[in-house]
Amino acid sequence: MKLFKSIRVKRVSKTTLQHTSLSKETSSGPVIKIMRKIKYPALTVILLVLIFLAGQGRLDRYIEMCGMHRVTTANEKYLQESFDKALDGFLVLSGIKMGLAVVEGSEVGIGFNLEIGDVVQAAYDYVDVAWHTVLAGAVVLLMTRYLLNAATLIDHWCLAATILVIVVLLILKWFLPNFRRCILLSKGLGIFMTVLTVTLYLVLPLSITGATFLSEKITAPSIQEAQEGLEKVHKELFAGDKAKHSDLFKKVKRLKQRIDFIAGYLKDKTRELTVWIIKLIAGYVFDCIVFPLGLFLLLFWLTKATAKYLFDVKQRQTLRDDLEEIFKKYRSFHY
């Protein structure tokens, strides 16, 4: 019985081996062999065509069809409107600052000297801080517009260079698998170019779009309230007296009354003016720095991690490790 079972098992194993050999022969038929021969050259040709199209900027049309055109239009509209608002706020603060500077150094002599610089010094200081903040915000907004315009000029060239690096990496893997150093360097260059291209096409525009959404939901009401309050202060303080007085005494008296009014107004409105200026400064800091920079760093980190995963690069496969190994071999060779 044992011999019969062993003979039966041998027959079954032979039949299974025959079936597997037949399946291998059928799977490696002439069509499959031709497809394997065509696969590498066809993929190379496709990638070369993509390099040409990317260099000409024709692939940007398909990227815009995926929704990036709306993102670009929304970013341009937001940056333009934000710059206009910042410019209006800067002009209002400039008027308040110049008026306070004049009042701060005023002396009215009518038998006595009236010095009110100490009264408006505090107001002038935090108006000056808000003035610098709004000016910096306007500069950052304009620089962001320039950065987006520069990205649209070079993004298609970066895309073409990225595809070219991928072609070189595939050629090295297919035909020169023993050139391990070159493959690792090509992977590192591919990661760099991929991250740069995705940053220009997606990360930078989407970070501005996300900052726009956060600004509309969080900081825009505070900035609007602060600017409206400062415009009201500017109109009430420095509306100007259009009446002409030929008498010098009347002019001096009118100036004294005006300065007394400004000093009393600032004393009454100190808390509200301080709150408006704090809201304005915080709003511009978040809109121009915190929101876009935070979203940019987050998306950039995700892009870099995804690129490393796609290129199958581990933490130990870094250029520093390769250089350290080369230096070790160089030292051992000389010593």
What's the chain look like in SS3? CHHHHHHHHHHHHHHHHHHHHHHHHHHCCHHHHHHHHHHHHHHHHHHHHHHHHHHHCCHHHHHHHHHHHHHHHHHHHHHHHHHHHHHHHHHHHHHHHHHHHHHHCCEEECCCEEECHHHHHHHHHHHHHHHHHHHHHHHHHHHHHHHHHHHHHHHHHHHHHHHHHHHHHHHHHHHCCCCHHHHHHHHHHHHHHHHHHHHHHHHHHHHHHHHHHHHHHHHHHHHHHHHHHHHHHHHHHCCCCCCCCCCHHHHHHHHHHHHHHHHHHHHHCHHHHHHHHHHHHHHHHHHHHHHHHHHHHHHHHHHHHHHHHHCCCCCCCCHHHHHHHHHHHHHHHHC
Residue 59 lies in a domain: yes
Quote the pLDDT of residue 163. Answer: 85
Higher-pLDDT residue of 312 and 105 is 312
Given pLDDT bands bounded at 50, 70 and 90, which one contains residue 171? confident
Residue 5 lies in a domain: no
Mean predicted confidence (pLDDT) in 21-50: 53
Residue 8 lies in a domain: no
Residue 13 lies in a domain: no
Higher-pLDDT residue of 316 and 162 is 162
* Cβ count within 10 A of residue 264: 11
| pLDDT tens per residue, range 182-194 | 888 888 888 899 9
Question: What is d(CA 230, CA 97) in angstroms, rounded to the nearest whole number?
Answer: 11
| pLDDT tens per residue, range 89-128 | 899 888 888 877 776 665 544 433 445 555 677 778 888 8
Structural domain that includes position 127 = 38-240+247-334
Exposure b/e, 65-75, CB count within 10 A at least 16 = b: eeebeebbeeb
Global confidence as pTM: 0.72
Residue 207 lies in a domain: yes
Residue 134 lies in a domain: yes
Residue 14 lies in a domain: no
Quote the pLDDT of residue 287. Answer: 92
- Tokens at 27, concatenated: 């799977």
How many domains does the chain contain in total? Answer: 1
Q: Quote the mean pLDDT of the chain.
A: 75
Residue 6 lies in a domain: no
